[in-house]
Structure 1
Amino acid sequence: MSKVVLITGGSSGIGKSIGEFLREKKFVVYGTSRNPEKYKDSKFPILALDVKDKGTIKQTIATILEKEGRLDVVINNAGAGITGPIEEIPEEEIKNNFETNFFGPISVIKAVLPQMRKQQSGLIINITSIAGYMGLPYRGVYSASKGALELITEAFRMELKGFNIKMTNIAPGDFATNIAAGRYHAPLLDHSPYKKPYGDTLNLMNTHVDDGSDPLLMAKAVYKVMVTPNPKVHYKVGEFMQKFSIVLKRILPDKVYEKLLMNHYKL
């Protein structure tokens, strides 16, 4: 029997690539979007879901269970980017980012756990970010929200082991997607003391996304995890130097690592 998969944020970018690849592998795939009517040509069903709205989460899961009778894999992929000097990002935008990147996945997890416990099986994959392993300049809020999801997954895993429910993180580096178009950018203010360094860093970040890896690499990584009997706690997917930066953070003195980052961003 084909496993049933739910992918939040499955209408574009990494989520779309994952969904199409898993469908080719004969999984039953459901994606989600806040505006599913825009994606009628999708190769798999797109259901209405906003991770900040618990009602839509509950309704979508109920719809899938009514049609399929089970839910085997949940991929928390929906997320939002945010950039800017932390001092200048409005507090409501910081909270909004955490609602999407941290509290949203938690709400989805809480909603699916009763069914997975009933089945005595399940896999939850949280799509985080290599940026969540380090505080990056002008991406500090994004780093913090993704880092928080990484850490809470570590705790969740241990709490769920007794129910045969598995959970893991997959942290992508820069991929060629439309995330830059949808993220919140704190405006470049003429009178801001951060105008030049933030502007230069923003251009560098956009270049990284434009030159990023093919999202198909993430799709293959997700599939590999799904067919692994006992997934690891953390996976990283991206270019060598992006993954190696995490190793460097572990072994280098803090100030040396900080200097490397500042040199990279020309700060």
Structure 2
Amino acid sequence: MSKVVFITGASSGIGKSIGLYLHGKNYKVYGTSRNPSKVNVPFSMVALDVTQKESIKRAIGEVIGIEGKIDVLINNAGKGITGPIEDTPTEEMKFNFDTNFFGVIDVIKEVLPSMRLEKSGLIINTTSIAGYMGLPFRGVYSASKGALELVTEALSMEVKSFGVRVVNVAPGDFATNIAAGRYHTPVFENSAYKEKYAENLALMDSHVSSGEDPMMMAKAIYEIIKSKSPKIHYKVGGFMEKFSIILKRVLPDKIYEKLLMNHYKL
């Protein structure tokens, strides 16, 4: 029987690419979007807002009601946020964590009972290479993804005895529409960070538009699903993005910070 795959945030970008690729490999794919009627894909779509618990309960219940189980949960829904820490509204920081962190946990909580009953299951959390380091003007995004990396490590140990495996996949910059959906803290006229933030905002958007093909992520996810013994952490992206994580491990803090500051022209 085909495995049942549930993908949050499958209306565009990485999530859509994963859905299309797995559908082409004969998996039973259910993608989610807040407005599924507006999404034109060959796999099934259900309505889901990861910040609303009732929406999560309804979507998971719908799929389990049809299929009897969910074999693979791919937590892909996420939201970008940029801005100097001092200038970014705390309410926007909290909303970002509601989507990137707490929303993921609430989806996992709703799926786990079914997976425990089946004594099998795979949960894949899409994090970010940005979650391995605090990036200037992306600190809140880095923090939300870094928090998810650590929770995944803990969860992996907690559910292993039930036959459930949990992994992180950290992408680098991919050519998606994430920049359009980000919350951008305005470049305030009286901000102490006005010039540097404005320069970096343009730099960050250019990184996304010139990023890797999202199908690279889809193929990586497919290999993880096929693996009999998946790792806990995966990184998918360009060489320098992945190498930057190694550099952080081996370089003294101040030297690594200087490299980042030079890159961001700070």
How does the TM-score come out when normalised to structure 1?
0.99
| Bigger Cα displacement from structure 2, 175-184 vs 57-66 | 57-66
Residue 37 of structure 1 pairs with residue 37 of structure 2: yes
How far did 1:170 drift?
0.1
How far did 1:186 drift?
0.2
Query: Structure 1 CA distance, aligned partners of 2:192 and 2:37?
Result: 43
Aligned counterpart, 1:83: 82
Query: Structure 2 CA distance, aligned partners of 1:4 and 1:106?
Result: 20
How far did 1:263 drift?
0.3
Q: Deviations over 1:168-219 (max 9, x none)?
A: 0000000000000000000011111101000111111011001000000000
Aligned counterpart, 1:28: 28
How does the TM-score come out when normalised to structure 2?
0.99
How far did 1:70 drift?
1.3
How far did 1:69 drift?
1.2
Amino acid at match of 1:168: V
| 1:9-158 mapped onto 2 (5 Å cutoff) | 9-39=9-39, 41-158=40-157
Query: Structure 2 CA distance, aligned partners of 1:46 and 1:254?
Result: 45
Query: Structure 2 CA distance, aligned partners of 1:209 and 1:178?
Result: 8
How far did 1:153 drift?
0.3
Corresponding residue pairs, total:
266
Aligned counterpart, 1:264: 263
Aligned counterpart, 1:8: 8
Aligned counterpart, 1:239: 238
Identity of aligned residues (%): 65
Amino acid at match of 2:149: E
Q: Where does structure 1 differ by over 6 angstroms across 4 or more consecutive aligned residues?
A: none
Give unmatched runs, 5+ long, in structure 1: none
Amino acid at match of 2:241: Q
Please tell me the root mean square deviation across aligned C-alpha atoms, in Å.
0.5
Amino acid at match of 1:266: K
How far did 1:42 drift?
1.5
Query: Structure 2 CA distance, aligned partners of 1:92 and 1:190?
Result: 21
Q: Secondary structure at the match of 2:191?
A: coil
Q: Secondary structure at the match of 1:6?
A: strand
Q: Deviations over 1:137-186 (max 9, x none)?
A: 00000000000000000000000110000000000000000000000000
Aligned counterpart, 2:209: 210
Q: Secondary structure at the match of 2:174?
A: coil
Residue 199 of structure 1 pairs with residue 164 of structure 2: no
Q: Deviations over 1:208-248 (max 9, x none)?
A: 00100000000000000000011111000000000000000
Q: Secondary structure at the match of 1:153?
A: helix
Give unmatched runs, 5+ long, in structure 2: none
How far did 1:25 drift?
0.4
Residue 220 of structure 1 pairs with residue 219 of structure 2: yes
| 1:159-174 mapped onto 2 (5 Å cutoff) | 159-174=158-173
Query: Structure 1 CA distance, aligned partners of 2:38 and 2:89?
Result: 30
